[in-house]
Amino acid sequence: MTMKAMTPGQVAKKVINNEKLFILDVRNQDAFEDWKVEGHQFDYLNIPYFELIDGVESILDKLPKDKDILVVCAKEGSSVMVAEMLSEAGLDVSYLEGGMKAWSEHLEPVRVGELNGGGELYQFVRIGKGCLSYMVVSGEEAAVIDPVRMTDVFVNFAKEKNVTIKHALDTHLHADHISGGRLIAQETGASYWLPPKDATEVTFSYNPLKDGQLIQVGASTIDINALYTPGHTIGSTSFIIDDSYLLTGDILFIDSIGRPDLAGKAEDWVGDLRNSLYSKYKQLSDELVVLPAHFMIVDELNEDGTVGKKLGDLFKENHGLNVDDETTFRQMVTENLPPQPNAYQEIRETNMGKIEPDSEKQREMEIGPNRCAVR
């Protein structure tokens, strides 16, 4: 029977299109339980590779006959070997090209909607890592918000749209992934914007994002309106685009709220977090579509593959926005923090410009799920 490679992009399409897939993950159990390829209709079998070195006969009866089978490992090699054995045993199977490392880096651009004057807003869904980046396209110009380090995806997308990237913005100093904002600015001549309260230790020049800042993109009247909303970091800034979309960074997610501890300041910043969520956001229109910088689980994806929901709905449904007692809120935030992201201190220092790891080191630093939310 046949064995073929399945690209991360093909797997992403299966997630977005709500298709069925059976995944045989041959990594160790702890790695699988910590982080895996998630899909709405994916089924799983986790058998470590070393248990299959002598053959796959013991698992043949556990594999489905009516679903596509994808073998997954960390970097690809082990999954190729297992897929070959399964193919020799008479099964049609695929292996994940590039393994979990490649899955972590894939970005799927999805159109969110139209903007004033014929512009468009795109969300770049990094399904394997839970990161969300954005591109505002208007006239002959574009702005990229919270770009990740795979900058070629944004630069090439802008070329396809025949637009020039004029601005790269980060809502805050990220701690779970390496920002591509500075590199995009270097490659394209764009202005790089960062909240100044998050930039006190950076080693590079930048444009300070301040409360009430308006940044024009293109010939039409698209304003990226900076709204100072500290809590996840002391400089966290939200953006309101066209009075229609609220980009919340890591302050507010679809099913949770941001954690305030990645700079070791949970007790200090929890009050800022509550004020941003319960006061500043309360003053905004319920019709604004919340577009966060991360999602936690694949169930947060809408049918079209986007991650977003109206602010009014989140005030009804998101538990983190419905804790009336401030003491209870403080306890919820400070006592329900997940493990720190992998290498988060090194990632922060990279985003400050203090260290410059090579590309392979950067990949290793980011491996694993995002952990930006309060559980």
**In CATH, what number is assigned to the domain containing residue 96?**
3.40.250.10
Taking the chain, what is the end-to-end CA distance rounded to the nearest angstrom? Answer: 44
96 and 126, same domain (yes or no): no
CB burial string 110-120: b at 16+ within 10 A, e below: bebbebeeebb
155 and 304, same domain (yes or no): yes
78 and 111, same domain (yes or no): no
Please check whether residue 62 lies inside any domain of the structure.
Answer: yes
152 and 226, same domain (yes or no): yes
Handedness of CA 336, 340, 341, 347 (dihedral sign): positive
Whole-model pTM: value is: 0.93
Structure confidence at residue 170 (pLDDT): 97
* Contact yes or no for 94/70 (Cβ under 8 A): yes
User: Domain of 15?
Assistant: 3-102
Interatomic CA distance for residues 267 and 258, integer angstroms: 14
83 and 37, same domain (yes or no): yes
Which residues, given as ranges, of the chain have pLDDT below 50? none
Helix (H) or strand (E) holding 245, with range, is strand 245-249
Please check whether residue 159 lies inside any domain of the structure.
Answer: yes
190 and 64, same domain (yes or no): no
Which residues are tagged catalytic? 73
Please check whether residue 371 lies inside any domain of the structure.
Answer: no
Structure confidence at residue 264 (pLDDT): 63
Structure confidence at residue 304 (pLDDT): 92
The whole-chain average pLDDT of the chain stands at 92
34 and 172, same domain (yes or no): no
Among residues 102, 137, 170, the one where a domain terminates is: 102
Interatomic CA distance for residues 257 and 236, integer angstroms: 13
Alpha helix ranges (H) inside 114-244: 151-160, 181-188
**Torsion angle in degrees (nearest 10) through CA of 365, 375, 252, 278:** -140
Q: Which pair of structure tokens corresponds to residue 79?
A: 């999954």
Distance of CA 272 to the CA centre of its chain: 23
37 and 164, same domain (yes or no): no
- We report the CATH number of the domain holding residue 263 as 3.60.15.10
Structure confidence at residue 231 (pLDDT): 83
